[in-house]
Amino acid sequence: MSSLWNNNISISIFGESHGPAIGVVIDNLPPGEYIDLEELKRFMARRAPKKDGSTTPRGEKDMPQIMSGVHGDKTTGTPLCAFIQNTDTRSQDYSNLSTLVRPGHADYTGAVRYRGFNDVRGGGHFSGRLTAPLVFAGAVCAQILERRGIYTGAHIAEIHNIKDDEFDRVKVNKDDILKVRYKKFPVINDEQGEKMFADIQNARMGGESLGGIIECACVNVPAGIGSPIFNGLENSLAQLIFGIPAVKGLEFGAGFLTAKMVGSQNNDDFYVDEHGHVKTKTNNHGGILGGISSGMPITLRVAIKPTPSIGKPQETIDAKNMKNDILTINGRHDPCIVPRAVPCVEAAVNIGVLSHMLDYPHFY
């Protein structure tokens, strides 16, 4: 199973949703970088379940234990290994999944790929639970980047056709990012957030689930990082973001809207500002041209599907006896994954940007 992402930095994620622990090994981090453990836990707490009815009631604390790679609160340059214990599992909820496959999940494809030996409890290695070590890795990378003035932030752009305000693709800055980072419900416009939250509750009570869109921006990335053709910045970010379960779409800058434009509308005119910096008047390219950063804010939008585990009976198959059947899913599930996926998207972007920044001449 390939759960290793390897560029200048490599991350290897291990564990299963209902196993004793999950974790990550991060290799080739620069040595001597101070890691604020309290800030790291605060970042990770954004992904953890909430007690407001908007997420699963599974009560994992997501407290990482760093086993290597950090000494005296600073990175050593050797592999950083961290694991997170699973303490609130209810494997009995998945007892009927040994034969019945869940629509929208990887039960069927995983069983085919791994000849039926995959762990189905809680989704096993396919579970969103495995985003916790991803967020840990991204939180570490965020601290290294922010020390160099590079900030990544995301918010819920849309849930079930209820839309938040958008980042300004040209002018989004550090302050815009920090304003939303630690909100209880990560939106720019709190009134729209209240509508989204109410819609999530309605879906939960009706045995349904909702999807949505996350908008992310990374600011103060210098021009010139990334390489064509297959090691472009977009390529790396896409690989990492699609490592988040439930991601079904990704666009940079104006994205799919560019297909409706003519060239003069899509092209971003260049100019030199009063400080002698090269910028563009618009940012349809989302801060990346030819796989290389332009110096403009990197902006992207991520589509998240509705949680596939819902409270309604669904048609499926009994894979053991090869017959049709009806499945009622037990267990504890998020009625909407989107709020908890916000820090996951940030984490993926942090990992990808830092990996490419290690090639930048003035990084150290």
State yes or no: cis peptide before 229, omega within 30 of 0: yes
pLDDT digits (tens, 9 = 90+) for 66-94: 999 999 999 999 999 999 998 865 555 55
Please tell me the predicted confidence (pLDDT) of residue 224.
96
**Nearest alpha carbon to residue 290 among 225, 238, 228:** 228
For residues 29 and 10, give the distance between their C-alpha atoms in angstroms, rounded to a whole number.
9
Any idea which fold 4-357 has?
A: Chorismate synthase, AroC fold (3.60.150)
Q: For the packed helices 37-45 and 131-146, what is the interaxial angle rounded to 10 degrees? A: 130
Q: Give the list of residues 6+ apart from residue 364 with CB closer than 8 angstroms, or none.
A: 30
Is this model's pTM higher than 0.75 or not?
Answer: yes
- What type of residue sits at position 103? P
The reported pLDDT for the residue numbered 229 is 93
| CA neighbor of 199 nearest in space, from 158, 233, 167, 249 | 158
**DSSP class per residue in 86-144:** -----GGGGGGGGTBPPTTSSHHHHHHHTTT-S--GGGGGGSGGGHHHHHHHHHHHHHH
Residue 208, classified by CB atoms within 10 Å of its CB into exposed (0-12), middle (13-18) or buried (19+), is middle
Q: Is 17 exposed, middle or buried (0-12, 13-18, 19+ CB in 10 A)?
A: buried
pLDDT in tens, 239-278: 999 999 999 999 999 999 999 999 999 999 999 999 999 9
pLDDT of residue 87: 81
Q: What is the pLDDT of residue 116?
A: 81
Distance CA 298, CA 220 (A): 9
Enter the DSSP assignment of 59.
-
**Can you list the residues of the chain whose pLDDT is less than 50?**
58
Contact 319, 101 (CB under 8 A): yes
